């Protein structure tokens, strides 16, 4: 249920959900509230007064006298009703911060997302057909399989007769037919193309048509996510995810490729990703009380390296120039043959890849958002260690991968970490006192900085002029948090007593350099791709942010540091885990699934790694937000204030 919160004295209203945290609500509204401890309730800085309405709060966190006056710790309060909240002078540390407009356009309406991904039918690539067959007689003693075929023909007259090629199927068929008294359910797989016949992949005793489930899986380098879909209704009925167990062999795809070259390494990596998928299946099945044997189809997508490793293909040539994958269209595979806990008949479809560094996850995402069906020109972005970019519309598409480095995943950042509990994910700075408002994932004391936190921090430091556009600290500011540390100049985000790790958490100039290289590579990627087709940012109708990281990016701040182009905000869309979404849509609607072929055919890959134009763009982008400020008019205006 939606609730409104009006923050006084600045009269800024924000809409949040019932139960949402009040400190996070203030952050979303752009209302600065002093907060040092990440939302853990220990620094006591974020006291606010509840003027109207109800919050659910822990009484023990405040003195009785303050509690009775209607004061609450914002970080310890859950919104219950519509609220009016006054931020006291001391808590706000001055009024200037409140003049700013809300920075985020994170929330887009369901309507606009629907225009992007469209609707789809419940018409999955696997179907079930229940048949009641006449038992054989001496006058009618065709083979068991012919009897099944005859049943199919009379149930679906005029349709192509299905094929069958699974040896186990014909091995068990006679007993299944007789034990079920000739009442069986066929599990049918649609052909790749519409004109191809169905394939019988299983025959089950009795009527099992009510049980038809499919699993969509996104195989990420870090995280694997799965959703179980009831293919009779099209509804998601369970979700699960887990770290890709390959992580123990390396954080990124390059270290996995290196590990795969060791004796037994490839096999170990394959085993690990299979066991991760098995864990997801187990988790989902346990929760839903279904058997893994009831899953009839698996639709998966992963980057090129993950796809190779899942299939046990040696990824070595992906790493060596000229960066060639073994295969980009993966054959339909029997899941059980890979070790996945599934019925032997179940097929696993893996989205095709474009190139060594633009993988099936991107194809699935581009497929999900229907770029290839629209006249509008879209820029599809998946930000990560390997950032992937696709530009185009229904007539043409180009894509590229750019090696942004690990900064967005916390790599190369002194206190960087993955987006896990304790990571600073949101940050505001008081424009005159330079005091921080930090919010961590899980609202506990901070232990580090994740990618979205990093973007917040850098953009806030830039706007507050704590750092300049070259990413250097203002040496003239006399403030205890701004100091020269072991790695040069830094800003202390949390003092040791407020941090979980017992030491000061700071952001350094080295960190800033790394971030600038990462965002510069992404931006140069957009420019190179667009210029290759003679377009500029103004030609873009839509910018689609895909990937888990993309879903947590604060748009204004990302533009502010130059990670995203400075164009009209209503052209941006957050798609979330687009790879998983593409799998889910394909799993539910075979027509949408078949359209994927066009996506794959349209996309042309561009290699940036030795592209001189890219290098020129990249050098120009090593600035906050950019050396060419005409590209960032709104940031120029903001910084001029």
Element (H, E) at 609: none
How far, in Å, CA of 343 to CA of 324, rounded?
33
Instruction: Tell me how far, at minimum, the Cβ of 376 lies from a copy of itself, in Å.
Output: 28
Stretch 156-195 residues interacting with a copy of itself (CB under 8 A):
163-167, 170-171, 173-175
Pick from 317, 394, 533, 598 the residue near a copy of itself by CB under 8 A: 317
* Assigned token pair, 385: 């260690």
Instruction: Tell me how far, at minimum, the Cβ of 61 lies from a copy of itself, in Å.
Output: 58
Toward a copy of itself, which CB reaches closer, 474 or 609? Answer: 609
DSSP type of residue 171 = H
- Please write down the HEC assignment for all residues of 308-347: HHHHCCCCHHHHCCCCCCCCCCCCCEEHHHHCCCCCCCCE
DSSP type of residue 578 = H
Instruction: Tell me how far, at minimum, the Cβ of 322 lies from a copy of itself, in Å.
Output: 4
Q: Does 331 sit near a copy of itself (CB under 8 A)?
A: yes
Q: Tokens 């890849």 — which residue?
A: 353
The stretch near a copy of itself (CB under 8 A) out of 78-86, 225-233, 247-255, 315-323 is 315-323
Burial label, 19 (beta-carbon count in 10 A; 0-12, 13-18, 19+): exposed
Instruction: Tell me how far, at minimum, the Cβ of 196 lies from a copy of itself, in Å.
Output: 9
Toward a copy of itself, which CB reaches closer, 138 or 640? Answer: 138
Instruction: Tell me how far, at minimum, the Cβ of 329 lies from a copy of itself, in Å.
Output: 7
* Assigned token pair, 329: 């269209």
Stretch 365-404 residues interacting with a copy of itself (CB under 8 A):
none
Taking alpha carbons only, the member of 167, 183, 193 closest to residue 129 is 183
Toward a copy of itself, which CB reaches closer, 327 or 568? Answer: 327
Instruction: Tell me how far, at minimum, the Cβ of 247 lies from a copy of itself, in Å.
Output: 24
What is the β-pairing status of strands 378-382 and 397-403? unpaired
Q: Does 246 sit near a copy of itself (CB under 8 A)?
A: no
DSSP type of residue 416 = B
Q: Does 477 sit near a copy of itself (CB under 8 A)?
A: no
Instruction: Tell me how far, at minimum, the Cβ of 254 lies from a copy of itself, in Å.
Output: 17
Q: Does 314 sit near a copy of itself (CB under 8 A)?
A: yes
Burial 175-213 (b: 16+ CB within 10 A, else e): ebbeebebebbbbbbbbeeeeeebbbbbbbbeebeebbb
Toward a copy of itself, which CB reaches closer, 147 or 557? Answer: 147
The stretch near a copy of itself (CB under 8 A) out of 45-53, 56-64, 316-324, 467-475 is 316-324
Stretch 107-166 residues interacting with a copy of itself (CB under 8 A):
136-146, 163-166
The stretch near a copy of itself (CB under 8 A) out of 381-389, 521-529, 541-549, 601-609 is 601-609
Toward a copy of itself, which CB reaches closer, 26 or 186? Answer: 186
Stretch 254-293 residues interacting with a copy of itself (CB under 8 A):
none
How far, in Å, CA of 361 to CA of 577, rounded?
9
Say if residues 37 and 498 touch (Cβ distance below 8 Å). yes
The partner residues of 223 in beta bridges, in order of sequence, read: 243
Taking alpha carbons only, the member of 428, 631, 417 closest to residue 531 is 631
How far, in Å, CA of 86 to CA of 91, rounded?
10
Say if residues 436 and 482 touch (Cβ distance below 8 Å). no
- Cα distances from 166 to residues 153, 201, 298, 344, 635, in angstroms, run 20, 7, 17, 9, 61
Instruction: Tell me how far, at minimum, the Cβ of 344 lies from a copy of itself, in Å.
Output: 14
CA atoms within 13 Å, Cβ hemisphere of 524: 26
Stretch 337-356 residues interacting with a copy of itself (CB under 8 A):
337, 353, 355-356
User: By CB under 8 A, how many residues form the interface with a copy of itself?
Assistant: 48
Pick from 15, 191, 607, 620 the residue near a copy of itself by CB under 8 A: 607
| Sheet strands (E) in 69-119 | 71-73, 77-79, 83-86
Instruction: Tell me how far, at minimum, the Cβ of 185 lies from a copy of itself, in Å.
Output: 18
The stretch near a copy of itself (CB under 8 A) out of 325-333, 380-388, 424-432, 439-447 is 325-333
Instruction: Tell me how far, at minimum, the Cβ of 156 lies from a copy of itself, in Å.
Output: 19
Q: Does 336 sit near a copy of itself (CB under 8 A)?
A: no
Element (H, E) at 220: none
Pick from 98, 188, 311, 439 the residue near a copy of itself by CB under 8 A: 311
The stretch near a copy of itself (CB under 8 A) out of 5-13, 392-400, 577-585, 604-612 is 604-612
% helix, strand, coil for the chain, step of 5: 35, 25, 40
The stretch near a copy of itself (CB under 8 A) out of 86-94, 250-258, 327-335, 379-387 is 327-335
Toward a copy of itself, which CB reaches closer, 277 or 318? Answer: 318
How far, in Å, CA of 426 to CA of 552, rounded?
10
How far, in Å, CA of 383 to CA of 155, rounded?
49
Toward a copy of itself, which CB reaches closer, 303 or 514? Answer: 303
Instruction: Tell me how far, at minimum, the Cβ of 622 lies from a copy of itself, in Å.
Output: 24
Q: Does 609 sit near a copy of itself (CB under 8 A)?
A: yes
The stretch near a copy of itself (CB under 8 A) out of 44-52, 73-81, 454-462, 607-615 is 607-615
Instruction: Tell me how far, at minimum, the Cβ of 358 lies from a copy of itself, in Å.
Output: 11
Pick from 323, 403, 501, 620 the residue near a copy of itself by CB under 8 A: 323
Burial label, 445 (beta-carbon count in 10 A; 0-12, 13-18, 19+): buried
Toward a copy of itself, which CB reaches closer, 323 or 537? Answer: 323
Q: Does 324 sit near a copy of itself (CB under 8 A)?
A: yes
- Please write down the HEC assignment for all residues of 443-505: CCCCCEECHHHHHHHHHHHHHCCCECCCCCECCCCCCCCEEEECCEEEEEEECHHHCCCCCCE
Q: Does 416 sit near a copy of itself (CB under 8 A)?
A: no
Q: Does 221 sit near a copy of itself (CB under 8 A)?
A: no
Burial 223-240 (b: 16+ CB within 10 A, else e): bbbbbbbbbeebeeebeb
Which residues here bind a copy of itself, judged by CB under 8 A?
Answer: 136-146, 163-167, 170-171, 173-175, 311-314, 316-317, 321-333, 337, 353, 355-356, 605, 607, 609-610
């Amino acid at each position: 249920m939606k609730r409104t919160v009006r923050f006084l004295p600045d009269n800024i209203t924000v809409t949040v959900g019932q139960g949402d945290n009040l400190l996070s609500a203030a952050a979303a509204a752009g209302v600065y509230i002093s907060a040092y401890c990440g939302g853990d309730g220990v620094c006591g800085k974020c006291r606010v007064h509840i003027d109207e309405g109800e919050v659910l709060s822990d009484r023990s966190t405040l003195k009785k006298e303050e509690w009775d006056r209607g004061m609450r710790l914002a970080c310890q309060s859950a919104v219950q009703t519509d609220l009016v909240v006054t931020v006291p002078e001391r808590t706000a540390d001055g009024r200037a911060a409140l003049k700013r407009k809300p920075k985020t356009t994170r929330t887009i309406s369901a309507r606009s997302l629907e225009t992007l991904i469209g609707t789809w039918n419940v018409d999955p690539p696997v179907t079930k057909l229940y048949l009641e067959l006449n038992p054989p007689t001496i006058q009618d003693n065709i083979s068991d399989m012919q009897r099944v075929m005859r049943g199919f023909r009379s149930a679906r007259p005029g349709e192509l007769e299905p094929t069958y090629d699974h040896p186990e199927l014909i091995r068990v068929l006679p007993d299944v037919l007789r034990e079920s008294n000739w009442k069986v359910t066929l599990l049918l797989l649609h052909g790749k193309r519409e004109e191809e016949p169905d394939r019988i992949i299983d025959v089950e005793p009795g009527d099992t048509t009510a049980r038809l489930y499919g699993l969509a899986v996104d195989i990420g380098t870090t995280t694997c996510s799965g959703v179980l879909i009831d293919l009779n209704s099209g509804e998601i009925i369970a979700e699960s995810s887990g770290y890709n167990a390959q992580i123990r062999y390396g954080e990124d795809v390059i270290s996995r490729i290196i590990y795969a070259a060791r004796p037994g390494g490839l096999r170990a990596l394959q085993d690990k990703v299979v066991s991760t998928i098995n864990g997801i299946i187990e988790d989902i099945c346990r929760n839903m009380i279904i058997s893994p044997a009831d899953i009839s189809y698996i639709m998966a997508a992963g980057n090129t390296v993950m796809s190779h490793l899942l299939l046990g293909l040696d990824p070595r040539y992906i790493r060596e120039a000229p960066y060639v994958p073994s295969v980009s269209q993966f054959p339909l595979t029997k899941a059980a043959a890979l070790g996945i806990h599934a019925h032997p008949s179940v097929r696993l479809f893996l989205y095709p890849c474009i190139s060594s560094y633009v993988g099936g996850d991107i194809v699935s995402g581009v497929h999900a958002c229907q770029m290839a069906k629209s006249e509008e020109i879209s820029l599809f972005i998946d930000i990560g260690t390997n950032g992937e970019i696709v530009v185009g519309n229904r007539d043409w598409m180009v894509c590229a991968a750019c090696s942004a480095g690990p900064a967005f995943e916390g790599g190369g950042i002194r206190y960087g970490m993955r987006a896990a509990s304790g990571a600073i994910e949101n940050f505001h700075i008081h424009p005159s006192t330079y005091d921080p408002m930090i919010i961590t994932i899980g609202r506990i004391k901070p232990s580090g900085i994740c990618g979205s936190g990093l973007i917040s921090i850098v953009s806030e430091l830039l706007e507050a002029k704590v750092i300049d556009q070259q990413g250097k600290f203002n040496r003239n500011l006399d403030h205890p948090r701004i100091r020269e540390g072991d790695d040069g100049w830094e800003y202390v985000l949390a003092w040791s007593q407020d941090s979980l790790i017992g030491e000061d958490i700071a952001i350094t100039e080295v960190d800033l350099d790394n971030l600038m290289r990462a965002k510069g590579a992404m931006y140069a990627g957009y420019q190179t791709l667009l210029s290759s087709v003679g377009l500029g940012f103004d030609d873009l109708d839509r910018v689609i942010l895909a990937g888990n990281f993309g879903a947590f990016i604060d748009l204004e701040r990302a533009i502010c540091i130059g990670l995203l182009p400075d164009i009209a905000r209503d052209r941006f869309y957050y798609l979330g885990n687009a790879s998983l979404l593409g799998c889910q849509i394909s799993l539910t609607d075979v027509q949408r699934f078949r359209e994927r072929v066009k996506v794959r055919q349209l996309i042309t890959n561009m290699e940036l790694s030795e592209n001189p134009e890219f290098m020129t763009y990249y050098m120009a982008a090593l600035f906050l937000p950019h050396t060419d400020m005409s590209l960032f008019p709104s940031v120029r205006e903001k910084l001029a204030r």
